[in-house]
Chain A
Amino acid sequence: MVTPTPKISVENLRLSYGHKEVLHGVSFAIAPNEILAVIGPAQSGKTSLLRCINRTVEFTPGAVMSGTVRVDGEDLMRMADVYGLRRRIGMVAPLPVGLPLTIYDNVAFAPRCAGLTAKAELDARVETCLRQAALWDEVKDRLDSLGTKLSGGQQQRLTIARALSHDPEILCLDEFSIAIDPVTTMRIEDVLQELRAHVTIVLVTNLTQQARRLADRTMFLWNGDIVEMADTDVIFGDTPRDRRTFDYVNGVFG
């Protein structure tokens, strides 16, 4: 699967918060337009890994990152424009965050920060993103009410819409479906399938079925180390390379 120029390539990435190292030198590569699922038990460093990719981990005092992360072959740490980097990446956090702005402003926030002001263009962008997040029909009549007044699941979809609003090349989803009902989840999964035509997706999920449905490959992260990374069929099949993968996937992890 891995082409000569991967979309994201990570080499020997270490991350520590203070004295505690949470990623112990992970290396992997993601091909363009691939969907990579990341699974692993709690505290294994999945969220931290995503935060390294868009460099928001730098906002955490005491976080020290070493190793190289490349996006399109370009070293993250040498990028002068870190905001530009974050605009190429859409990030969905596990807990819904409706900014205390109107629904419209929530989605228009990122384009505006990037300097887009034309009303018509913003309108179109907001509608597209809300449709992709399967939220448009529910909110199209009240775009100027507050994002924080939506229900939890709706706020989560608002978060997804916001992550898509700056037209990212890479989309990182961190357990996006924990607050969303199964039917809506399926609609969003369909959208992800469409998006993969021009977006590379990293999907942190603990839903085995979801990983199976969507991911080309799956990474099993455990305590800051990659135990195994292979085609999804292999990871969830009867013969993964590592015994621990089999145990974890089949729920007999001790």
Chain B
Amino acid sequence: MNPPTFTATPLVRRKLRQERLARAVLAGMVLAMVLPLAAIIAYLVVQGAPLISWSFLTQNPSNGMRAGGIWSALVGTIYLVVIALLVSAPVGVLCAVYLNEYARENWFTRLIHLAVVNLAGVPSIVHALFGLGAFVLFAGIGRSILAAALTLAIMTLPVVIASTKEALAAVPMSFREACWNVGASRWQTIWKVVLPNSISGILTGVILQVSRTAGETAPIMFTGAVFLKKIHDDTLFPYALTDQCMALSMHLYTVTTQVTNAPEALPYAIAVVLLGAVLLVNAAAILLRGLLRSRKKW
């Protein structure tokens, strides 16, 4: 009654050794990335903690931004992010659908593709100048939430297009052929099969743009953000689209560099709120994505 024996040959031992090594190195890389991140967040929270409270969130800044809360900046950021994504997400996704599903491969579409990829790498300060010229001056919108949000939308658009194209291209060609074979039109194929199966990838691309939009300072500084503005804290929509607004990213910049004698914890507290807001939006979007993904299946 011998159990089947297994004696490790040198070859097997070497494989196992390699396997252990690879695992250790890869896990080490993950740690090397996670630890600093955790450290940053912990540091911010500890430093900002004395100031963070409900009233910090819901009061306007006062006393030359040295006291009070950040209500008008928080609301301003929400306005900017929501409006910018309301513009860039649908436009970007539809562009990508056209480029990936309809456009024929020729020099013109290759040129567009090249432009999209390059635009995604243009520094935000350049987008800021463009926004200033195009929306504030040329279109005559003036410095306003609308102009700033549109500038942010232009900035995120190429990235949304590129990531959506990627997600669409990941849907196997055979699915499309199966649909075409039974007489489905391109649009029916896209609507019933391609989009449902790429929606989670598309959302991922859009989600990543939330934090980028919320964090940028340069584009809004030129086009619609102001240092200080107080708003009513008892209405649902305190800003009008043509108003200028405060924003968290810019507020953080202001209190660190322009305001003397601000409480030491203030910048950290603002950073924590900015981070928290972005994480909240991301969490919501990831939840939605998980919901959609649980229906996906091949």
Report which A residues bind B (CB closer than 8 A): 54, 56, 59, 61, 83-87, 90-91, 93, 95, 97-101, 109-110, 113-114, 146, 148-149, 159, 162-163, 165-166
Given the known interface contacts A97-B177, A99-B179, A100-B175, the answer about A149 and B297 at a Cβ–Cβ threshold of 8 Å is: yes
> Could you tell me if B181 and A99 are in contact, using CB atoms closer than 8 angstroms?
no
Kindly state the separation between the CA atoms of A163 and B177 in the bound complex, as whole angstroms: 12
Given the known interface contacts A93-B174, A97-B174, A148-B298, the answer about A83 and B181 at a Cβ–Cβ threshold of 8 Å is: no
Instruction: Please tell me which one of the listed residues B175, B177, B182, B183 contacts residue A59 in the complex, with CB atoms under 8 A apart.
Output: B177
B120-151 with Cβ < 8 A to chain A:
none
Kindly state the separation between the CA atoms of A148 and B177 in the bound complex, as whole angstroms: 16
Residues from chain B with a CB closer than 8 A to the CB of A98 are: 298
Q: List 23 A-B contacts (CB under 8 A).
A: A54-B181, A56-B181, A83-B183, A84-B183, A86-B182, A87-B182, A93-B178, A97-B174, A97-B175, A97-B178, A99-B178, A100-B193, A100-B296, A101-B192, A110-B182, A113-B179, A113-B182, A148-B298, A149-B297, A159-B178, A163-B182, A165-B182, A166-B182
B197 within 8 A of partner (CB): yes
B242 within 8 A of partner (CB): no
Residues from chain A with a CB closer than 8 A to the CB of B297 are: 100, 146, 148-149
Question: Smallest distance from the beta carbon of B197 to chain A beta carbons, Å?
Answer: 6
B90-107 with Cβ < 8 A to chain A:
104-105
Q: Which has the most chain A C-beta neighbours within 10 Å: B105, B178, B181, B296? A: B181
Q: What are the nearest 5 A-B pairs in CB distance?
A: A110-B182, A87-B183, A86-B183, A91-B181, A97-B178
Residues from chain B with a CB closer than 8 A to the CB of A90 are: 182
Residues from chain B with a CB closer than 8 A to the CB of A83 are: 183-185
Kindly state the separation between the CA atoms of A149 and B196 in the bound complex, as whole angstroms: 17
Given the known interface contacts A97-B175, A97-B178, A99-B175, the answer about A113 and B193 at a Cβ–Cβ threshold of 8 Å is: no
> Could you tell me if A86 and B174 are in contact, using CB atoms closer than 8 angstroms?
no
B188 within 8 A of partner (CB): yes
For A61, the closest partner residue in chain B by CB is B105
Q: Which has the most chain A C-beta neighbours within 10 Å: B177, B178, B183, B297? A: B183
Question: Smallest distance from the beta carbon of B144 to chain A beta carbons, Å?
Answer: 44
For B192, the closest partner residue in chain A by CB is A109
B180 within 8 A of partner (CB): yes
Give per-residue flags for B153-191: 1 if the beta carbon is below 8 A from chain A beta carbons, else 0.
Answer: 000000000000000000000111111111111001000
> Could you tell me if B181 and A109 are in contact, using CB atoms closer than 8 angstroms?
no
Given the known interface contacts A100-B175, A100-B296, the answer about A93 and B193 at a Cβ–Cβ threshold of 8 Å is: no
Question: Smallest distance from the beta carbon of A120 to chain B beta carbons, Å?
Answer: 21
Question: Smallest distance from the beta carbon of A154 to chain B beta carbons, Å?
Answer: 15
Residues from chain B with a CB closer than 8 A to the CB of A149 are: 297
Residues from chain A with a CB closer than 8 A to the CB of B178 are: 93, 97, 99, 159, 162
Kindly state the separation between the CA atoms of A59 and B181 in the bound complex, as whole angstroms: 11
For A164, the closest partner residue in chain B by CB is B182
> Could you tell me if B184 and A113 are in contact, using CB atoms closer than 8 angstroms?
yes
Kindly state the separation between the CA atoms of A183 and B178 in the bound complex, as whole angstroms: 26
Kindly state the separation between the CA atoms of A87 and B192 in the bound complex, as whole angstroms: 17
- With A83-B183, A99-B179, A162-B178 already in contact, 20 other A-B pairs whose C-beta atoms are closer than 8 Å: A54-B181, A56-B181, A59-B180, A83-B185, A86-B180, A86-B182, A87-B182, A87-B183, A91-B182, A93-B181, A97-B174, A98-B298, A99-B193, A100-B298, A109-B179, A110-B182, A159-B178, A162-B182, A163-B181, A165-B182
Residues from chain B with a CB closer than 8 A to the CB of A165 are: 182
Kindly state the separation between the CA atoms of A14 and B105 in the bound complex, as whole angstroms: 22
Residues from chain B with a CB closer than 8 A to the CB of A162 are: 178, 182
Residues from chain B with a CB closer than 8 A to the CB of A91 are: 181-182
Residues from chain A with a CB closer than 8 A to the CB of B104 are: 61
Question: Smallest distance from the beta carbon of B66 to chain A beta carbons, Å?
Answer: 57
B239-298 with Cβ < 8 A to chain A:
296-298
Question: Smallest distance from the beta carbon of A2 to chain B beta carbons, Å?
Answer: 27
Residues from chain B with a CB closer than 8 A to the CB of A85 are: 183
Residues from chain B with a CB closer than 8 A to the CB of A110 are: 182-184
Kindly state the separation between the CA atoms of A56 and B181 in the bound complex, as whole angstroms: 7
Residues from chain A with a CB closer than 8 A to the CB of B188 are: 113
For B173, the closest partner residue in chain A by CB is A59
Kindly state the separation between the CA atoms of A31 and B174 in the bound complex, as whole angstroms: 30
Residues from chain A with a CB closer than 8 A to the CB of B185 are: 83, 113
Residues from chain A with a CB closer than 8 A to the CB of B105 are: 61
For A148, the closest partner residue in chain B by CB is B298
B50-70 with Cβ < 8 A to chain A:
none
Kindly state the separation between the CA atoms of A61 and B298 in the bound complex, as whole angstroms: 26
